[in-house]
Structure 1
């Protein structure tokens, strides 16, 4: 019997928590242009294309689609899934359905869990290690409905304590770099074994005396290091044939049921490497099979071929553990190594940053330990089950089983938040890159500022002073930024805001994202009444704090005056208390977002003027028939600009109210532009791309007919809105698949 060749590509899909702890929203991130934030950009470049992989002919026509998640071994970080679920619920459900279907069909799952917010587990204190792993497992079970067999360790960072906790939780396997394991020995003979492929080894827990505890074990799959490096940093993903050939080259002759594991960031396939998602689709469907290679989940392989060898862990440089992205143990996340310095930056800032975070975390833990018994019947149980709120919003059930009778739910919610943020400050990205001024580190510092704010409500005043004094030792590589203290005090602390300011901001972004309701892990907002006047938007809304359950109703005036782009007046409809503030009082990233909305207001209010100008310019060639149209270079240039502005407004009007009349108005201006041969597109900018969730909501809730969707695709193609076109094409593909399934069921 011919030996089989098995291949498993593990894709680690993850984004850190990016949400502002005062609003629950990510906000505008300039560096993600033309998208509104990095989650959205990477979703459109990677996570979504892998759900609808295209196989095309030489004309670019779609021949078939491939769901790459059916072939991958993969994990999704919980904080990323939270975002996808909120913004794109249909696609979120499709990912969940894919994993469930594979589990039901194969009997094994190709998706595994991950610790909650990507901390470096070997560096966490014991309580946080346990909670990070428990939350990751619970989050997985709540979403997918079954228990995970495997577990992805952030940055593949591991030590024996981490594996012991995973063994406690009945996890069957992890994936590590080959250089993270040592002393591979044959289970039967005890003889040393030279690693030949990615087949699993077994790790045994030991007693303090060094004796193996046979019943306490976990399998370790060592990925193929050279192949994984090539996928991440070379060009083997440029086409499917090259990719499949590269995979094939790692099988050894006469190898019995050989396994090759490629492990990499999932973002490699489409984000880091453009079109690598298409490479995977064609390779999975055709090229790997041509070479006799079968894709397999690691759970299935482990069941078919139990480990023949055992191994131990490399202890790491400081005997704290190892990771796949640091050759100095885990120093990249605590200081003492040059990883990530790009050959020119000083990374000494990492040492005081971790010291500051550890000090603040200890304060937060002390507050929880001291006050939680006053509010929770079992503080440890409440800590472990808080993820039920974060994942499936089981808020009332959580408090019914955990809150002491008569205890203040709002104060209890603050204690839960301080525990969450005391782990969020250790999200690994904060240390990964070259400077303390990076947005990833600033995000961790925002969570630190929120801890300080909550602590003050329990009587712990002034902890910011100690925290920032430690940060002062974290020197930035950029002289104008000085150090961590200056960044924290001049930027981060100023990000805080009152609930009223958060309400005004959330009401405005809900309106401008073409929604009536919006929800995140902190707030839910519902727009009850909207009135649009000249230079002004009037909104009545309800704002609910999701965890504590407190609800406020507000009347908000957002005015675009000559003095300020968007000023706000807000009245609490219960207390009748009023507040006024300018856009300039918000943090800088929110100011930029509000300015974008002010521009949108101006453009919308002047749509009739823009249209008059457009048609007046367009008639100039008609009045001068002897002159060729394109000799009117200035006119043509103006027409393109005007058309782009008008089409953007009319497209937004359609998304705000996807009526037949609004679609007709959009189509009319496009048809006229086509008639006079104006080839201009809507500029892809954050105010446009931010509307894609609303567009998808329209597609999958209002369900336009096949003909309507086809007409929409034609318009989107003409307008150059490729991302929106991708969504519309996906919708058409779903209609086609649904029709084919119905026809097949009818025949059967």
Structure 2
């Protein structure tokens, strides 16, 4: 910051450091945070221009999967998809690849080398003897190829992630420079000067999570910008990326791997399959036996999905595994056959089952394992006629996974109560689109310039006549037409009833809470903007019921509905019904005429009273 805490400069730190982003995060950012997304791409382009074509961006396997626990076939797919996504976004081939949790073994490095990846980054304890002075290590694979291993500086990285280095950029810079003689950083020259290119000067590399800067440590991103500024002014320091350094200093020191290993589990990679003892809160005495139960369940489900793919795939796709490798981030395929595309999408969901955060934390009853179970629910939907049998087999194995709650919840219960959707996705998407139109568009809510508006990334929605919505799955092309009917659109509990168009089926009511969040959150925002002081609005609306409650037939229906709508919004937003509103309503109800009391009785339950008898 500048004087008085004012902004002195805004720095795109990614222009000066090696970085990677998960492909699925970039997919979201491209739509929902386009300015930040463009800044990421520009940082790589700027650094490539400054470093002779060696950009700062590093690739990552497509899903955040612990590759040593994956089969070779899954390793290849994850690496190829990650590389394909990188090419699509950055317009060049990746030189390096960051491995999730730096989890590595010989087979994983063999796949990286086979696919043309030149380097990756590992922790000090992942090699038996690190090369001197930070030089890249040379790892030879059994297939006769090689890959460079950069070993990051353990104490400095720990000091940034878990210590106090982000509290003081000048101290951080001095610690990095270390033995630089008689040249205090704060008195360094104002110009960039490349350091000597030989390894008589050490390579110092720091590896941390991106969320360290600002999320884990408030204002950490400012400290990073400041330390980069100080280092770039130091005539003894060259700030560059791994790819650029490797081009000038090829790996020569052969290293042996400690395998399997990772940077976040002292037991290798057991954290993602068993109760190894690694946990976020060691003092709480929780068990992680659920990790094995969850792992066994998804391993089994994935194996059954692969059998379906191998059985149904060849007539439709030729070599199914080659087709899967091609499919990836762009959903590229040489077929437009609906079942073939659904099989490929089924395999994509099977790969998502192994996203590492599902096992990283301390309990089964968290959002991360829940997301794994949601991937499983979608994969099961695509298995076809075998879905009931496979679902029961999956649930049976989930019985062995128990949470730490009192009483504990099983994986089966979490799947059935929270992961498995109560209605098919296409019906919920159509319901969301219909509610958005009724609630927001009717109120004149305008989408911002460049804002794609509400929606669900995997689906395309268009409006047809007669309140029918056409819903198309973007990857498979499957299309549905859904007839909709809106019920109480002004309400936080406003329901829409849906049914497949052209059928005589009964309409199925879908409440706002069951609508996909891509619609639910914007609808909720629109409703709450309309009522900025929700508590006071409900009290005033109930006060307004008093007029007319003593005579027949009671308060006008629109006044009753207004109270009902506002009470619904309290429930939706998890806001308690004000006690003042309850006491006022009770007095009005007790003083009301018989017919007025009957009309008011519809409000009893929603305002917290026992239903009328």
C-alpha RMSD of the superposition: 3.4
- Residue 108 of structure 2 corresponds to which residue in structure 1? 162
Alignment of 1:141-152 (within 5 A): 141-152=87-98
In structure 2, what is the Cα distance between the partners aligned to 1:354 and 1:172? 31
Equivalent residue for 2:164, pick from 221, 227, 235 = 235
The answer to whether the aligner puts 1:429 opposite 2:357 as a matched pair is yes
The answer to whether the aligner puts 1:105 opposite 2:41 as a matched pair is no
- Residue 61 of structure 1 corresponds to which residue in structure 2? 6
Alignment of 1:241-640 (within 5 A): 241-249=170-178, 256-287=200-231, 289-290=233-234, 292-315=236-259, 321-340=260-279, 342-343=281-282, 344-390=285-331, 398-399=332-333, 402-403=334-335, 409-455=337-383, 457-494=384-421, 497-508=424-435, 514=447, 521-526=457-462, 541-552=469-480, 556-560=484-488, 565-570=493-498, 579-583=507-511, 586=514, 593=521, 596=524, 599-600=527-528, 603=531
In structure 2, what is the Cα distance between the partners aligned to 1:564 and 1:520? 20
Contact 2:64 / 2:356 at 8 angstroms: preserved in 1?
yes
- Residue 199 of structure 1 corresponds to which residue in structure 2? 135
- Residue 16 of structure 2 corresponds to which residue in structure 1? 71
Equivalent residue for 1:180, pick from 104, 126, 138 = 126
Question: Residues 576, 223 of structure 1: CA spacing in aligned structure 2 closer, same or farther, 3 A cutoff?
Answer: same
Contact 2:126 / 2:262 at 8 angstroms: preserved in 1?
yes
- Residue 221 of structure 1 corresponds to which residue in structure 2? 150
The answer to whether the aligner puts 1:81 opposite 2:64 as a matched pair is no
Question: Residues 227, 562 of structure 1: CA spacing in aligned structure 2 closer, same or farther, 3 A cutoff?
Answer: closer
Question: Residues 57, 585 of structure 1: CA spacing in aligned structure 2 closer, same or farther, 3 A cutoff?
Answer: closer
How far does residue 498 in structure 1 lie from its aligned partner after superposition?
A: 4.3
How far does residue 509 in structure 1 lie from its aligned partner after superposition?
A: 5.5
Worse-superposed segment, 583-592 or 347-356? 583-592
How far does residue 244 in structure 1 lie from its aligned partner after superposition?
A: 1.1
In structure 1, what is the Cα distance between the partners aligned to 2:56 and 2:573? 35
Question: Residues 64, 181 of structure 1: CA spacing in aligned structure 2 closer, same or farther, 3 A cutoff?
Answer: same
How far does residue 499 in structure 1 lie from its aligned partner after superposition?
A: 1.4
SS of equivalent residue, structure 2 residue 476: coil
How far does residue 554 in structure 1 lie from its aligned partner after superposition?
A: 5.1
How far does residue 522 in structure 1 lie from its aligned partner after superposition?
A: 1.4
How far does residue 127 in structure 1 lie from its aligned partner after superposition?
A: 1.2
SS of equivalent residue, structure 2 residue 19: strand
SS of equivalent residue, structure 1 residue 81: helix
Worse-superposed segment, 226-235 or 337-346? 337-346
In structure 1, what is the Cα distance between the partners aligned to 2:467 and 2:171? 56
In structure 1, what is the Cα distance between the partners aligned to 2:526 and 2:13? 41
Worse-superposed segment, 89-98 or 226-235? 89-98
Aligned residue pairs total 514
How far does residue 160 in structure 1 lie from its aligned partner after superposition?
A: 0.2
SS of equivalent residue, structure 1 residue 568: strand
Contact 1:365 / 1:419 at 8 angstroms: preserved in 2?
yes
Judging by fraction of residues, say which structure has more strand: 1
Contact 1:517 / 1:524 at 8 angstroms: preserved in 2?
no
Question: Residues 592, 149 of structure 1: CA spacing in aligned structure 2 closer, same or farther, 3 A cutoff?
Answer: closer
- Residue 71 of structure 2 corresponds to which residue in structure 1? 125
Structure 2 gap ranges (5+): 183-197, 542-571, 575-613
How far does residue 605 in structure 1 lie from its aligned partner after superposition?
A: 13
How far does residue 569 in structure 1 lie from its aligned partner after superposition?
A: 3.1
In structure 2, what is the Cα distance between the partners aligned to 1:513 and 1:324? 47
In structure 2, what is the Cα distance between the partners aligned to 1:255 and 1:548? 53
Deviation string 1:452-490 (CA, Å, 9 cap, x unpaired) is: 2222x2434321222111111112111234322222222
Question: Residues 388, 473 of structure 1: CA spacing in aligned structure 2 closer, same or farther, 3 A cutoff?
Answer: closer
- TM-score using structure 1 length: 0.63
- TM-score using structure 2 length: 0.76
